[in-house]
Chain A
Amino acid sequence: MSWGSLENFLHMGGYAVYVWGAYGVTALCICLEIVLLRKRAQQARR
């Protein structure tokens, strides 16, 4: 699968909002969970 250029890749055939909206929020949720888990582990150790 060759995209030709970074611009094409980001543009996602016109569906950029949907694709990156989905992947972005997912990544955000995962990062949020990891951060919250770290904080909880720290607090539990005290």
Chain B
Amino acid sequence: MFFPLAGKLIPWFSLLAGAFALSGLYVAFFVAPTDAQQGEAYRIIFIHVPAAWMSMFLYLVMAGWAAVGLVLNTRLSGMMASALAPTGALFTFVALWSGSLWGRPTWGTWWVWDARLTSELILLFLYLGFIALKSAIPDPSRADRAGAVLALLGVVNVPVIYFSVQWWNTLHQGASVSLTRAPSMAMTMLAGMLLMALAAWMYSIAATLSRLRAIILERERDLEWVQLQSGSLRTAP
């Protein structure tokens, strides 16, 4: 049964998240040097980029589980998608917020309507729409499948966000970290970003598993093993 396994994994992922975060923050503030052009403001990168990566990654995972649920008609897939959405929305918000605070001193503006920022904002609306649709439909099975269709409808947006800086002339900086070419930034900055990205990833797993356990308990309320968990099992006299 998935439930106890998830319960055992959560503390480990939380620990990993904390460890990566501490080392990442250490690198971010005490190892990475001051930037020649942006001064200390650039240190927001250690939050902004990992958050943006997670916002896109979590949406893809969510859409993936949604697709599995639609095709194989499994209940767990739908619950997984529901568990991922709020954390994904959180990272999208953090990416937008930190980006705005970084943009103000460096670009001179809190917001600009370029392709990348606009599509990240759309991503936030897609997450919120997904959550809203699921909460509006009382029947869990219907909610899962409707949400899955919606999630898949919006998945086109993620490559748009990722490739927008290549396709359009935008104010937002182009990609400096690539899987194929050597990165064009100082190694310490890269290390800090990767550590924080790992921290965000571990945290997302822990938060999602925790939320998944709650969803399972909420939905399967009538099953015996659930009632055993909450100590509310009533046995016949």
Contacts and interface: CB of A to CB of B under 8 A. Distances in A.
Specify the main secondary structure of chain B where it touches its partner.
helix
Contacts of B232: 46
Contact of B102 (A14, A22, A29): A22
Contacts of B229: 45
Nearest to B208: A37
Contacts of B2: none
B33 A1 contact: yes
B29 A33 contact: no
B47 A45 contact: no
Contacts of A45: 217, 229-230
B101 A18 contact: yes
Task: Please classify how large the interface on chain B is, using the bins under 10, 10 to 19, 20 to 34, 35 or more.
Answer: 35 or more
Interface in B87-107: 87, 90, 93-94, 97-98, 101-102, 104-105
B145 interface: no
A22 B203 contact: no
Given A1-B30, A18-B102, A37 B207 contact: yes
Interface of B: 29-34, 39-41, 43-44, 47-48, 51, 86-87, 90, 93-94, 97-98, 101-102, 104-105, 203, 207, 210-211, 213-214, 217-218, 229-230, 232
Given A29-B94, A44-B213, A44-B217, 15 more contacts: A1-B31, A14-B39, A15-B41, A15-B105, A18-B41, A18-B101, A19-B43, A21-B101, A22-B97, A26-B47, A37-B214, A40-B211, A43-B214, A44-B214, A44-B230
Identify the 5 closest CB pairs spanning chains A and B, nearest first: A13-B40, A44-B217, A22-B98, A15-B41, A12-B40
